[in-house]
Amino acid sequence: MLNPDLIKMKVSDTFISTIHYLPVIDSTNNYSKKIKSDNSLIIAEYQTKGRGRFNRKWISQKAKNILLTIRKKNWIDIHSLHYLNFFITYQIYSTLKSYLPKNKKQSLYIKWPNDVIWDKKKISGLLIETSMPSNIIHAGIGININQLFPQSSSYISLKQILNTAEDLDRNGIIIKLIRNIHSNSHYIIRANRLYLYKKWEKANFLKWEKVCLKDLNISLKPEKIKLTSDGAIIISSKNFTKKYYSSEFISFM
């Protein structure tokens, strides 16, 4: 089980001021919207209505993975949320990468806009929501740590990647992630955002063999895929170029 007292002690010198530990909750993001304490970390063992972007279900076994939300007011202006997406996704990516041996690091990458993937299987997702006009950010993070997924699944856990029999320490991974977010927070300052974008862009995998554009009901082999600093993706093929700001209508193969 998670140890909220240990986590609180280890992140006491970061931006986190309050920790809410919930054995069971519908959704950590939903809970975050109901509380009043800023700079809060909400951690749960199990979610009954876990969700990702576009209300897609996020299913996680009890006490196996990381389910958390960071609640922070005025983290970034509402028109620059894509930079916060770059920032948090990259911190998840770099935190997970630090646990991998050298021969497995190259298989870890970001899939636009904010999934972290290992060898074509999803290990982490991010859902950023806002409460306006108070500009409170609710950054929901799900990371597969100890759950054992079937080989046919499109999901994988860190335990499976490392091929270890023992469960990994979720407390330590949460602590490391929060400390990484805290120590690298200067990247979301306006003057550093281009550098932040470049780091995020470099970690993205763009050599997809096939792209399905659901809004046009077509599949194509892209000649070029390009990311932009405003958070969009540009898909180019012969006599065709289209820019998307949302992954709702795109799937990669």
In Å, what is the CA distance from 4 to each residue of 20, 21, 73?
8, 6, 22
85 & 197 share domain: yes
198 & 230 share domain: no
Using the predicted structure, report yes or no on whether residue 151 has a pLDDT greater than 70: yes
What is the per-residue pLDDT across 26-69, written as a single tens digit (0 to 9) for each?
Answer: 999 999 999 999 999 999 999 997 676 656 667 789 999 999 99
48 & 145 share domain: yes
Question: Which contiguous run of DSSP H or E holds residue 136?
Answer: strand 136-143
Q: Which domain holds residue 216?
A: 206-252
CATH number of the domain where residue 11 is located: 3.30.930.10
69 & 148 share domain: yes
Tell me what pLDDT residue 117 has: 97
Using the predicted structure, report yes or no on whether residue 24 has a pLDDT greater than 80: yes
105 & 40 share domain: yes
Amino acid type, 147? Q
What is the per-residue pLDDT across 174-226, written as a single tens digit (0 to 9) for each?
Answer: 999 999 999 999 999 999 999 999 999 999 999 999 999 999 999 999 999 99
Using the predicted structure, report yes or no on whether residue 142 has a pLDDT greater than 80: yes
Tell me what pLDDT residue 59 has: 77
Amino acid type, 94? S
Global pTM reads: 0.95
| Domain count within the chain | 2
